[in-house]
Amino acid sequence: MSGFSKIAIVASDAPAAQAALKELCSRYNTVPPEQADLVVTLGGDGFMLETLHKYRERAVPFYGMHRGSVGFLMNAYGPDGLEQRVARAQPVAVHPLSMSATDRAGVLHDAIAINEVSLVRQGRQAAKLRITVDDTVRLDELTADGVLVATPVGSTAYNLSAHGPIIPLSAAILALTPISAFRPRRWRGALLPHWASVRFDVLEIERRPVSAAADFTEVRDVASVVVREAKEISLTMLFDPEHNLDERVLKEQFLT
């Protein structure tokens, strides 16, 4: 199929995605994802993230079609001319974040995040966090509901909801964004070079417990979390030229 000889099609549980799966499988020859050199994903952004995580070690490109709710990472759905669409689709390489979280018992938990790594308070009291960037303490104490580090792809997700900046994919930077900051009141976050290593230390662990999440992986009662770009991991998504992801990110910044 236009350079891809083995195609897999996967779909979310949404009725529209399941109907599209049935339609496409009746029209195109498919193989299981474990044998494919291209994975077509039917659903929304959440399902695309699940698929990227599930099959990331396959090192194959992913072509999403929107059959869910949010479809920022998806192309428009259409059953016709799949071969031609895939052939002219433009690849976008995505490097996820690596999270190394140490819990209160001293156990280390490793995970990756395509969108963001977030630290959020577990109880009624605000979290207190110390933020260190590349071995230099940049904020002695942040009192907030939490804080997150977002990739350019993830900058339009949770990061945007927390009033963080939208980042063009080619900018090679990460967003460090507080979630409902109380002190310092005027701190709105920072933009960091993509190679930066960010460490969060939880202050007053007993009274103010904090959880850390890398996309779908959550660690409770963390003591410290280190976040960096996992440059050694590269995921490829394919986009129709008329639905170019760089253009979508640019347009998002002018929405009113």
Q: What are phi and psi of 242, to 5 degrees?
A: -75, -5
Contact 229, 98 (CB under 8 A): yes
| Distance from C-alpha of 108 to C-alpha of 103, rounded to nearest angstrom | 7
Find out whether 226 and 199 touch, Cβ atoms under 8 Å.
yes
- Of 133, 167, 164, nearest to 249 (Cα)? 167
Q: Is 37 a catalytic residue?
A: no
Give Cβ neighbours of residue 244 (< 8 Å, ≥ 6 apart). Answer: 90
Contact present, 148 and 87 (Cβ < 8 Å): no
Would you tell me how many other CB atoms lie within 10 Å of the CB of residue 208? 18
Instruction: From the candidates 13, 45, 145, 201, give the one annotated as an active-site residue.
Output: 45
The residues assigned a catalytic role are: 45
